[in-house]
Amino acid sequence: MTMSKPNPKERTLVLLKPDAVQRGIVGEIIDRFEQKGIKLVGMKFMKLSDAILDRHYAEHKGKPFLPKLKTFMRKLPVVALALEGLEVARVVRAMCGPTDGKNAPAGTIRGDYSMSRSTTVVHSSSDAKAAKRELAIFFKSAEIVSWERPDADYFYAADELN
Ligand code: CDP
Ligand code: MG
């Protein structure tokens, strides 16, 4: 297989966690992604079951923080977002900032809204491969809607898209 160019249709999963819902900052966070030029291709408001959390957090199985994390994630609904764009998994991770809000640079979501390593406001997939697995947990394929932003030309140069 030849090395493929970055995919402008790459997708990633973001969860706006119960602390984002409780604090009423869901709109502000979605705004950041829209203003960056990232395309929203799926959105759901949902309470998470134990089963869905076990699937989602499979990589953290056995870690000491997992039981408390699951309790926190079940406290209130979350907003699940499917986001699309060039290198979107990496870009969204950078916008979220490192896990512990105390270490997160100002200007990142966690840097601006979190003082904790547990109530971290957002989840984002660690890379495009993880995103594929995680998106399938939260969205059926028909619930992700492809569309073109009419202002795409202003967010990307033509040679970045082809
Ligand atoms: O969310 P991120 O990918 O940055 O971090 P993670 O290491 O994959 O951990 C997932 C989530 O577990 C974090 O966002 C925290 O909510 C929680 N966590 C925690 O409560 N205590 C820790 N020591 C580490 C993570
Ligand atoms: Mg993680």
Nearest residue to 11 (alpha-carbon basis) of 83, 78, 79, 71: 83
Phi, psi for residue 107 in degrees, rounded to 5:
100, -25
- Is residue 3's pLDDT more than 80? no
At 12-22, the pLDDT tens digits run: 999 999 999 99
Annotation says 123 is catalytic:
yes
Could you read off the pLDDT of 98-142 as tens digits, one per residue? Answer: 999 999 999 999 999 999 999 999 999 999 999 999 999 999 999
Mutate to test the pocket of ligand 1, among 68, 93, 95, 120 (most ligand atoms within 8 A of CB): 120
Angle between the N-to-C axes of helices 88-96 and 26-36, in degrees from 0 to 180, rounded to the nearest 10? 140
**pTM of the full structure:** 0.96
Ligand 1 near 118 CB (within 6 A): yes
Q: What are phi and psi of 49, to 5 degrees?
A: -90, 165
Find the angle CA(14)-CA(155)-CA(139) to the nearest 5 degrees: 25
Question: In sequence order, what are the beta bridge partners of 84?
Answer: 11, 39
For the chain, domains (ranges, CATH) are: 11-144 (3.30.70.141)
From 63, 102, 118, mutation site for ligand 1 pocket: most ligand atoms within 8 A of C-beta: 118
Q: What is the pLDDT of residues 33-78, one digit of tens each?
A: 999 999 999 999 999 999 999 999 999 999 999 999 999 999 999 9
125 with 30: CB under 8 angstroms? no
